[in-house]
Amino acid sequence: MSVMRVLVSGGAGYIGSHTVVRLVAAGHDVVIVDSFANAKPTVVGRLEALTGTDLPVHAFDLTDKDKTERLFATEKFDAVIHFAGLKAVGESVQIPLDYYVNNLESTFSLLRAMRRHGCDLLVFSSSATVYGEVAPVPYQEDYEPLSASSPYGRTKVMIEHVLRDVAGIDERLKVAMLRYFNPVGAHPSGTIGEDPQGIPNNLMPFVAQVAVGRRERLQVFGGDYPTADGTAERDYIHVEDLAAGHVAALQWIASHDRKVSTWNLGGGRGTSVLQVVAAFEKASGMPVPYDIVGRREGDLAAYWADPSRANAELGWRAERTIDEMCADTWRWQRANPDGYPD
């Protein structure tokens, strides 16, 4: 395996930061670009402590074409892992244009700079949301047509199409689209983790904030789904497994000729909201009081990945259990009750 110099966009964010640690551990040189619109600069010091290296950081938004061009003109990258983007589903309904402009333009700007400067490997953060509302469960990569029920999700669908089209006619560009299921957990050190600003939209950080006393009660959205306990089921995946999946995907596309690769990164099983609550209470020893309320608009009853393609091709699988996901989330939450310092 050859050592690569990798630009990680959104490298200060939740999944990006965990992937940076794994990339360095695998021997790669990492450069971060992050706008810090949704991440605290203090994460960088934590990453340097964890990796024992200096991490070059460029603080700008990739929608700035001139700065992106200048970065690629002055530094040589073998690959880009592109995490940067707006990601709150509910917010994307309120400010759709911001989502389309930000997520699409940053990708266009990156792609242009990559083509101009001979950077030929791109790993993109896609999402299980591209399977839409009627795909059969478990989700398989070949399913078409892609669709999504929020502007956020539609940016992922659109970017997948863009990357497929561009790589299809480009002599050298190779892309990997990684469709994430529900990333949770934190680095086992407890020094980096998910740090949502404001009220968390996602289940695990909300549960963690209830357990640590920052919020009073969890609202469980829907108790009448056609599932074993009536609450919705998702495929939770430890962010450490997810990070390992990025490194495996990058190394795979670097050493194979296939132009476009799509891999589900999930565990292949569903866990209900109430199972998450029970696992978190066990891991933390803290009560997580909840009320069952109405369904959240746009939510599906149950879905999970068929991860067999990633298993077979990458030799990768999600290894960590829901108990480990909760234990690691709790270690991070307890040590950093208010997230990263300013």
Which of 121, 273, 310, 326 touches ligand UDP (CB under 6 A)?
Answer: 273
Interface with ligand UDP, residue 234, by CB under 6 A: yes
- Give the DSSP per-residue string, 219-269: EEE-S-SSSSSSS-EE-EEEHHHHHHHHHHHHHHHHHS--SEEEEEES-SS
- Give the DSSP per-residue string, 62-129: TT-HHHHHHHHHHS--SEEEE--S---HHHHHHSHHHHHHHHHHHHHHHHHHHHHTT--EEEEEEEGG
Residue 52 identity (one-letter amino acid) = G
Which of 166, 220, 239, 279 touches ligand UDP (CB under 6 A)?
Answer: 220
Which of 43, 163, 177, 232 touches ligand UDP (CB under 6 A)?
Answer: 232
CB of 194 to ligand UDP, least distance (A): 11
CB of 207 to ligand UDP, least distance (A): 8
Which of 157, 203, 242, 314 touches ligand UDP (CB under 6 A)?
Answer: 203
Residue 171 identity (one-letter amino acid) = E
> How many whole angstroms separate alpha carbon 150 and alpha carbon 296?
13
CB of 302 to ligand UDP, least distance (A): 9
CB of 76 to ligand UDP, least distance (A): 37
Report the residue number whose CB is nearest to ligand UDP: 232
> How many whole angstroms separate alpha carbon 42 and alpha carbon 313?
36
Q: Which stretch of DSSP H or E encloses residue 57?
A: strand 57-58
Cis preceding linkage at 226, omega within 30: no
152 noted as active-site residue: yes
Q: Which of residues 284-323 bind ligand UDP (CB under 6 A)?
A: 296, 299
Neighbours of 36 (CB within 10 A): 15
CB of 325 to ligand UDP, least distance (A): 12
- Stretch 82-101: interaction string toward ligand UDP, x if CB under 6 A: -------x------------
Which of 202, 275, 308, 321 touches ligand UDP (CB under 6 A)?
Answer: 202
Q: Which are the catalytic amino acids? A: 152
Chain contacts with ligand UDP (rule: CB under 6 A) = 89, 182, 201-203, 206, 218-221, 232, 234, 273, 296, 299
